[in-house]
């Protein structure tokens, strides 16, 4: 019989499993849940009888991820983690220490199939989706690593993967962030970033989950966007912005537009002016960042002066925009630098 991954159960499902399948009381399900979200292995669940632990080991796995490598930035309070999944696949995550707490940038897929020209996560294509349990496990593992009562306060779904390409597991993970015994992260402390899968945006708006939606736009028109984001060929910019606007309207949340500046591609003052026209009247904030270099890609960041000029043009046109702080660049932990790694590369 295939073992079940305990972390993949919601609270209700865990209770049902413990009561109906294992013939134990609901109280035991709570105890197990508390251990799971502390990152314990079955043999460490000391307040369960030996018998029950043996039964669990027989039928279940914890189903989480393990931190196998940690890199600390020399310049800022950023750490990059390499997580190993149960099938040996590796994913990366980044923890940023801000004054308002710890923010974990986490992955939703192993690899990605969106094919954006500037992003390292998509170089090997999509390997597989992560389960809700594997996503929650990234938070649990980091909490355990932080120790001393410190824990992840905010999450951003901006690691490898396209969240709406793994829709059901992502939504199930989001619903479980705040259930009993879980990691206790409010949905207002969650940002979900999408490259613009319109059906996903429209469906997500109906879930009633108050997360901040971020749209990776990176261009003011289809002509430029087609060159760097294949998704743009399926969904044009006008329809994408309209879907984003519907999300903002119906949820009452402010949206975030992500715009990574690539030298000579999307960084001119004319692009900034065109972007302002596109976003006029929308309740959005634009996060501008200079491209983070990815060695396999022949794309460069603009000069600081060009970044400033781009921001100034947005400001002059009354578009709320800031340059996002660059963090973790020295450990390849900045946006778009997280990649799928193989075992050999892990040791390199
Ligand atoms: N698939 C989602 C989640 C990825 S989030 C999405 O596309 O939004 C990571 C963010 O970093 C996205 O805005 C992405 O477009 C951006 N990004 C990717 N590669 C980058 C790079 N090399 N430099 C700067 N930003 C990059």
- Closest residue by Cα to atom 20, ligand 1, is 336
Let me know: does 270 contact 261? Beta carbons within 8 Å.
Answer: no
Distance in Å, CA 40 to ligand 1 centroid: 33
Q: Which residues are catalytic?
A: 92, 335
CA angle 83, 184, 134 (to 5 degrees): 25
pLDDT of residue 240: 98
User: For residue range 48-64, what is the model confidence (pLDDT) as tens digits?
Assistant: 999 999 999 999 999 78
User: For residue range 192-250, what is the model confidence (pLDDT) as tens digits?
Assistant: 999 999 999 999 999 999 999 999 999 999 999 999 999 999 999 999 999 999 999 99
Burial of 266 (0-12, 13-18, 19+ CB in 10 A): buried
Let me know: does 24 contact 148? Beta carbons within 8 Å.
Answer: no
Distance in Å, CA 194 to ligand 1 centroid: 9
Dihedral over Cα of 113, 189, 153, 207: its sign: negative
What is the best residue among 155, 258, 289, 327 to mutate for testing ligand 1's pocket, by most ligand atoms within 8 Å of CB? 258
Q: Which token pair is 77?
A: 């309070």
For residue 114, what are the contacts with CB-CB under 8 A and spacing of at least 6? 122, 162, 165, 195, 229, 230, 231
Q: Which helix (H) or strand (E) holds 245?
A: helix 237-251
Q: Is 164 in the pocket of ligand 1 (CB under 6 A)?
A: no
pLDDT of residue 75: 84
User: For residue range 153-199, what is the model confidence (pLDDT) as tens digits?
Assistant: 999 999 999 999 999 999 999 999 999 999 999 999 999 999 999 99
Which residue, among 80, 330, 26, 290, has the nearest Cα to 17 in the 3D structure?
26
- DSSP per-residue string spanning 305-333: HHHHHHHHHHHHTT--EEEPPP-SGGGT-
Let me know: does 192 contact 214? Beta carbons within 8 Å.
Answer: yes
User: For residue range 104-131, what is the model confidence (pLDDT) as tens digits?
Assistant: 999 999 999 999 999 999 999 999 999 9
> What's the CA gap between 71 and 79, in Å, rounded?
6
Q: Is 94 in the pocket of ligand 1 (CB under 6 A)?
A: no
> What's the CA gap between 257 and 54, in Å, rounded?
50
For ligand 1, what atom is nearest to the CA of residue 216? Answer: 13
- Closest residue by Cα to atom 21, ligand 1, is 336
Q: In the chain, what are the domains?
A: 4-61 (1.10.150.530), 66-346 (3.20.20.70)
Beta bridge partners of 109: 129
Distance in Å, CA 121 to ligand 1 centroid: 9
- Closest residue by Cα to atom 15, ligand 1, is 216
For ligand 1, what atom is nearest to the CA of residue 160? Answer: 4
Q: Is 31 in the pocket of ligand 1 (CB under 6 A)?
A: no
Q: Is 160 in the pocket of ligand 1 (CB under 6 A)?
A: no
Q: Which helix (H) or strand (E) holds 57?
A: helix 50-59
Percent of the chain with pLDDT over 70: 96
- Closest residue by Cα to atom 18, ligand 1, is 336
For ligand 1, what atom is nearest to the CA of residue 229? Answer: 15
């Amino acid at each position: 019989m295939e073992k079940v991954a305990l972390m993949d159960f919601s609270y209700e499902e865990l209770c049902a499993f413990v009561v109906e399948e294992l013939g134990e009381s609901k109280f035991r399900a709570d105890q197990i849940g508390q251990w799971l979200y502390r990152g314990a292995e079955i043999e460490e669940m000391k307040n369960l009888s030996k018998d029950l632990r043996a039964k669990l080991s027989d039928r279940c796995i914890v189903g989480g991820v393990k931190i196998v490598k940690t890199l600390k930035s020399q310049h800022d309070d950023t750490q990059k983690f390499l997580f190993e999944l149960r099938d040996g696949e590796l994913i990366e995550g980044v923890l940023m220490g801000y004054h308002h707490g710890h923010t974990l940038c986490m992955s939703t897929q192993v690899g990605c199939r969106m094919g954006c020209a500037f992003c390292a996560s998509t170089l090997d294509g999509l390997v597989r989706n992560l389960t809700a349990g594997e996503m929650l496990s990234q938070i649990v593992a980091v909490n355990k690593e932080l120790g001393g009562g410190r824990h992840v306060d905010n999450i951003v779904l901006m690691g490898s993967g396209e969240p709406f390409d793994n829709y059901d597991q992502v939504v199930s993970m989001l619903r479980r962030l705040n259930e009993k015994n879980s990691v206790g992260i409010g949905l207002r402390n969650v940002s979900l970033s999408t490259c613009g899968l319109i059906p996903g945006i429209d469906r997500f708006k109906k879930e009633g989950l108050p997360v901040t939606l971020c749209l990776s736009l990176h261009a003011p028109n289809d002509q430029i966007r087609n060159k760097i984001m294949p998704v743009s060929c399926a969904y044009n910019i006008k329809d994408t912005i309209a879907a984003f606007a519907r999300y903002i309207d119906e949820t009452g949340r402010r949206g975030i537009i992500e715009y990574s500046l690539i030298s000579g591609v999307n960084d001119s003052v004319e692009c900034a002016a065109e972007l302002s026209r596109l976003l006029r009247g929308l309740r959005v904030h634009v996060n501008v960042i200079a491209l983070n270099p990815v060695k396999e890609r022949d794309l460069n960041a603009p000069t600081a002066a060009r970044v400033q000029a781009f921001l100034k043009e947005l400001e002059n046109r009354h578009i709320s925009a800031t340059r996002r702080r660059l963090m973790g660049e020295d450990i390849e932990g900045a946006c778009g630098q997280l990649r799928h790694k193989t075992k050999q590369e892990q040791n390199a």
